[in-house]
Structure 1
Amino acid sequence: MQNLDSAVLATALPAMARDLHEDPYRLGAAITSYLVALTVFIPFSAWIADRFGAKRVFMFAILTFVASSVLCGRAQGLGELVAFRVLQGLGGAMMVPVGRLLLLRGVAKKDMLSAMAWLTMPALLGPVTGPPLGGVLTDLWSWRAVFWINVPIGLIGFALVAWKIPHVPPTRPGPPDVVGLALTGTALALVMFGIETVGRHVVPGWVSVLALAAGILAGWLAVRHCQRVPQPALDLSLFRIATFRDPAVAGSLFRTGAGAVPFLIPVMLQIGFGMSASQSGFVSFATALGAFAMKPLVRPLLRRTGFRGALVINGVVASFGIAALALVTPAWPAAAIFALLAAGGLARSLQFTALNTLAFADVPAERMSRATALYGTLQQLTPALGVVLATTTLETCLALSGRSALVAADFSWGFVVAAVVVLASIPLHARLAPDAGAEVSGHNR
C-alpha cells in the first residue's frame, strides 16, 4: 500500500497541479512532505514498537495511513494536501521499519539475502501497478481517486495483520531519548523546509535561510547529544561498522540521485512530451517491471561478485542508465523509452537490494532495532532530497532560459545531474573490503 501510494501519486502530479492551480514542480512538496514526515517520525518507531508491541503498532499505523489517505483525497489546496501528507507520513513511519524489524530479528544471516528479496518482491507490486493504475484513475475519475484506493487495501491489510501476525509482547526499552528525538526531528524538518522553499517565493527568502541555519544548528546539537548519552535516539556508533557505514553514507548518495528519477519520468512524459496520465503510467511502469525481474537474480549475482564488486560495477551501470534518459526526446517511440526504463530498473533494483541487505549483515541482534531506525531515517530522507534535487534543477533551467514553462530539454539536465550524484557514490563503495558481507552473500565461501 505504501509503495503503491508513492507510485500512483507521481503519475497524478500534473493533473493535481492543474486542478489546484499550482505549477507542477511546486507539487513536489506533496511528495517531499510525506517523505520528510517519514524521516522525522521513523526514529520513534523502534522505541514505540518495543514499548507497545510491534503488532499493535503495525495495526495502528495502517489505520492512520488509511484515514489520512481519505483526507488527502478531500484536500482543496496545496497547504491542506501537504498537512494531510504529513499525517500520512506518521502512519508510514511505523509500517515499513516495524515490518523489517520483525523480519530481521527472526532470520539467520545465511538466509538474510533471500529473506530481504522475498520482503521486497510483494512490495514491488506497488511500483509495478502504480503508474498505470494512477494514470487510469486520474483520466477516468480524478487525481483524488489515487488516494481512495488505499482504503480497501488498508482495511484488508489490517484484517490480515490481526489474523496472521502473532502477538509480539511489549518490552521495557527504558525511557526514550526525548531530547535526541526532538533535536533530530527539528533538524530534519527545518533543513528540508529550507531546501524545499528556498528561491521558490513560497515564503520570504529570509525565512528559508533562517530555517536552514537553525536546522544545521539543531543537527549539530543532535549529533553532540547522541554521542554523549547511553541510549541515544540515533545510535551513531553504528557507523563504526563498515558494512553499515557504506550503505548509510555511499548508499545515501545513490538513493538521492536515483530518487529524482521517479519524479522526473512521469512529469517529463506528460509536461514535456504531451502524453496523457494513462499513457505516461503505462510507459513509466517499465522501471518497476525491470526492478521486479531483477529480484530472483540478486542472490546468484552477489554470490559471484560479492557486495563490493556488485556495488561498484552495477553503480556505474545504474549511473549511465540514468544519464541515458537525457537522450530521450518526443520523437522516440514509446517501446524504446519502455525498454530503456526497464533496463534502468534492473540496475537500480540490484543496487537497492545489495545496500539494504549489506547494512544489516554485521549488526548484532541486540542493536537491530536501533539500526533499522537509523537506516530507515536515511532511507526515507534521501528520496526526498532526490525530489528536491530534481525540482531545483528544473527551476534553475527555467530561470537561466527565461522561459515560463518547462520544455523537454529541461528534463535532460535533471537526469544528468541525478546521474552525477549516483556516480559520486562509486569511490566510497570501492573502499569496502573484498569479503564485506560474505557470510550473507556467500561470496568466496
Structure 2
Amino acid sequence: MPTNPLTEVNSDAIRYRIVPLIVACPLFLQNLDTSVMATALPSIAESMQVPVLDLNLAIASYVISLAIFLPASAWLSNRFGARRVFCAAVIVFSIGSALCGMAQTLAQLIVFRLLQGAGGSMMVPVGRSILLRCIPPDRMVSAMVWFTIPGAIGRMMGPFFGGAIVTVASWHWIFLVNIPFGILGVVLAMMFIDADEKLAPESAGSMDFLGLAMLGTALLGLLGGLELSGKHLLPPALVAAMIVVGTVALCLYVIHCRRHSNPILDFSVLRFPIFRVSVLGGLPVRIAVIGAVPFLLPLLFQIGLGMSPLKSGLITMCIALGSLTTRAVLTYVIGRFGFRTLLIAASLIMACLIASYGLFAASTPVWLICGLLFLGGLATSMVMVTLNTVAYSDVPRARASHATAMASMTQQLAIALGVVIGAWAVTFSGHIRHPATEGLQASDFAIVFVGVALLSAWSALSFRTLKSDDGSELRQQRTGT
C-alpha cells in the first residue's frame, strides 16, 4: 500500500520537535534541581542540624561528580549506543534523587549527590549527541530552539518550586519530584528515539582508563578547588593544592591525548574552527551569563537592595521570561542575519545590559529593573542558542559524542569560574570601597557588573573570526513543513 508523502513529512516535522524536547529533559531536571536546591538550603540545614555553610559540600559534590564521570560519556555512547546510555543515565539520576530524598544526614546526602551527579554527567552530553545524529542540518536551528526551552523553564520554576515545597511539605520532596520526570523521559526516549546498534568492542575502541584518571583528576582538582575556594570548608593551602594538581593533570592529559589513538575525551575536536570558537571564544560570555550573573543578581537584590527572597525571585524570573520569548523569533533572526552577525551583536548588547545592572539602586523603579532583566534574557538566549547551534556545524557526526562531552565540560567550568570570579570581585570591591564597614552595599556591585560585562564583550571579539557564511547549511530551513 503506497504511503502518503505529506503524512511522512508531517510525521518528520513532529518528530523533529519531540526529540529535542525529550533529550532536553535532563537539562530541565538539572536546572530545576540546582535552583531548587539553593532555595531549600536553610530548611535542609535546620532539619539536619548542621550549619548552612556546610551544605555547600552537597552542591560541590554534585559538580565534582559531573566532572569525574563526564569524560566517559563519549566512549560509553559509542560503545553501547546513545539511546541506551541516555536512558541509563536518566535512571541513575532518578535513583540518586530518590536516595537524596531519603537522606537523614549530611554525609548520606553528599554520597547520594555523587551518585546523582554520575547520572547527570552523561544525560546532557549524550542527549546532545542524539540530537546531532537524529536531526538533519537544515532542521538544527529549529531543533536547538526547542532543545533549550525545558532548561529555561527549569531555571524559571526552580526558586518558586523550591519555596513552595519547603513551605507546604518537607525538603525531601525537592528531590523526589525528579522521579516522575525521569520516568517520563525514559518512556518518551524509548518511544520516539530510534535505537542505535551497539558497536563491537573493537569498533568503539578500548577504554582509556589512564586518560580517564588524568582528566578526572584534572577536573576534580580544578572544579573542586574552584567550588571550595573562599568557602572556608578546607584549609586554603589544600584548596590551592587541588587547583595546582588539577592544572598539572590537565597538562599531562593534553600530552596523553596527542599520543593515544582513542583518548577518553578527544581534544582534537578543537581543530574544527567553528567548534573551537564556540568552546574557547564563547567561554568568557558563558562565564558571564550562566555563571556570574545568576550568582550576583540575588546578592544585589537581597543584600544590596534589601529585597525579600520572594521579591528577588519574582524579579529575577524576568530573565527566564525574556529567554523563553526569544524562542518564538530566533529561527527567523538567525536566518535573516546569520550566526556571525547575531553572535557579535547579541554579545555586545548583553555586555551593555550587564553593565546596567550595576546601576540598580533602591530608588530604581521596579518596572525598569524588570525591563532590563527581560532584555537581558532576550540577549542571553540569542547568544546561547546561536552558539550551541552553530558549534557543531563543522564537526563530523562520528565525532559528535566527543564534541558534546567537551562542550558540557566547558559549561561546567564556566559556571564554577563565574561564581568564583563573582564572589572574589564583590568581596574585593567591598573591601576597597569601605574596608571598615561590614556587609555589602549596592554600590559595591557597580564595578563588578562592569567587569563581568567586559567578559561578554571579549567573546564578541572572538566571534569576529567566524566567517559570514559559517553555519549557512543550518539556515536552509525547508518550507511547507
TM-score, normalised on structure 1? Answer: 0.89
Question: Are 1:202 and 2:236 an aligned pair?
Answer: no
Give the alignment partner of residue 423 of structure 1, picking from 433, 457, 481.
457
Q: Is the 8 A contact 1:321 1:344 kept in 2?
A: yes
Following TM superposition, by how much is the alpha carbon of 1:321 offset from its aligned partner in structure 2, in angstroms? 1.4
Give 3-state SS (helix, strand or coil) of 2:282's partner: helix
Q: Is the 8 A contact 1:195 1:388 kept in 2?
A: yes
Q: Which amino acid aligns with 2:150?
A: P
Report the RMSD for the aligned CA atoms in angstroms: 2.7
Q: Pairwise mapping of residues 295-444 of structure 1 onto structure 2 (< 5 A)?
A: 295-397=327-429, 399-400=431-432, 401-442=435-476
Q: Percent identity?
A: 39
- 1:133 maps to 161
- 1:109 maps to 137
- 1:171 maps to 199
Give 3-state SS (helix, strand or coil) of 1:362's partner: coil
- C-alpha separation between the residues in 1 aligned to 2:58 and 2:414? 16
Give 3-state SS (helix, strand or coil) of 1:95's partner: helix
Q: Which amino acid aligns with 1:363?
A: V
- C-alpha separation between the residues in 2 aligned to 1:380 and 1:246? 17
Length, aligned pairs only: 441
Q: Is the 8 A contact 2:67 2:223 kept in 1?
A: no
Give the alignment partner of residue 276 of structure 2, picking from 245, 262, 278.
245
Q: Is the 8 A contact 2:74 2:265 kept in 1?
A: no
Q: Structure 2 vs 1, CA of residues 287 and 196 (structure 1 numbering), >3 Å: closer, same or farther? A: same
Q: Is the 8 A contact 2:42 2:52 kept in 1?
A: no
Q: Which amino acid aligns with 2:473?
A: E
Q: Is the 8 A contact 2:96 2:116 kept in 1?
A: yes
Q: Which amino acid aligns with 1:185?
A: G
Give 3-state SS (helix, strand or coil) of 2:147's partner: helix
Following TM superposition, by how much is the alpha carbon of 1:77 offset from its aligned partner in structure 2, in angstroms? 6.8
Q: Is the 8 A contact 2:74 2:264 kept in 1?
A: no
- C-alpha separation between the residues in 2 aligned to 1:404 and 1:144? 35
Following TM superposition, by how much is the alpha carbon of 1:116 offset from its aligned partner in structure 2, in angstroms? 1.2
Give the alignment partner of residue 67 of structure 1, picking from 95, 115, 120.
95
Q: Which amino acid aligns with 1:194?
A: G
**Gap runs ≥5 in structure 2:** 1-28
Question: Are 1:222 and 2:253 an aligned pair?
Answer: yes
- 2:243 maps to 212
Deviation per CA, 1:55-75, whole angstroms, max 9, x where unpaired?
Answer: 332222222222322444455
Instruction: State which structure, 1 or 2, has the greater radius of gyration over its C-alpha atoms.
Output: 2
Q: Is the 8 A contact 2:430 2:441 kept in 1?
A: no
**Gap runs ≥5 in structure 1:** none
- C-alpha separation between the residues in 2 aligned to 1:216 and 1:345? 34
The higher-RCO structure (CA 8 Å, 6+ apart) is: 1
- 1:97 maps to 125
Deviation per CA, 1:181-212, whole angstroms, max 9, x where unpaired?
Answer: 21111111112223333444322222122222
Give 3-state SS (helix, strand or coil) of 1:390's partner: helix
Following TM superposition, by how much is the alpha carbon of 1:325 offset from its aligned partner in structure 2, in angstroms? 1.3
- 2:297 maps to 265
Q: Structure 2 vs 1, CA of residues 193 and 398 (structure 1 numbering), >3 Å: closer, same or farther? A: farther
TM-score, normalised on structure 2? Answer: 0.83
